[in-house]
Amino acid sequence: MKGDKVFLDTNILIYAHDVSSGKKHEVARKIVLELWESGLGVLSTQVLQEFFYGVTKKISQPLDMQVAKEVVSHLLKWDIVVNDGESILKAIEIHNRYLYSFWDSMIIYAAISGGAAILLSEDLHDRQTILGVTIENPLST
């Protein structure tokens, strides 16, 4: 993973800020800190949108809306993939070929278009490589 760009799925980013998620919080927080230090983190507009909603509405100890906004503001310093029409068409191709949900296919394509070598996710198939991006589940221990 050293030197490679790493795309984070929403679940990893949420765990990094969800203090009630135990070991998952510890692992995800460490990943986010390492990506901050290395400058190799990649996110998408979709991930940031889902993150904001998730940390303010779906976790047991939600973040204050202003705090969550500040976190998003800081995360905008990472490489950000903006989903556009081409992203949608490419995600449809991934959806059809690999049978992921459309939304997961958007995440996968964002990782590809962002130049990431690794996509960290709890929800996708661990160790699968799609168009040059390898999916890894850092929480599967």
Q: What is the pLDDT of residues 45-59, one digit of tens each?
A: 999 999 999 999 999
Distance from C-alpha of 1 to C-alpha of 65, rounded to nearest angstrom: 33
pTM value is 0.96
Does residue 42 lie within any of the structural domains?
yes
CB-neighbour burial class of residue 45 (10 A; exposed 0-12, middle 13-18, buried 19+):
middle
Structural domain harbouring 107: 6-136
CB-neighbour burial class of residue 8 (10 A; exposed 0-12, middle 13-18, buried 19+):
buried
Mean pLDDT, to the nearest integer, of 61-74? 97
Distance from C-alpha of 92 to C-alpha of 73, rounded to nearest angstrom: 29
Mean pLDDT, to the nearest integer, of 109-116? 98
Q: What is the pLDDT of residues 114-128, one digit of tens each?
A: 999 999 999 999 999
Does residue 36 lie within any of the structural domains?
yes
Residue with token string 């998408």: 44
Q: What is the CATH number of the domain that holds 50?
A: 3.40.50.1010
Does residue 141 lie within any of the structural domains?
no
Which pLDDT score, from 0 to 100, does residue 135 have?
98
Give how many domains the chain has, as a whole number: 1
Does residue 1 lie within any of the structural domains?
no
Please name the helix (run of DSSP H) or strand (run of DSSP E) that holds residue 8, with its range, or none: strand 6-8
Does residue 123 lie within any of the structural domains?
yes
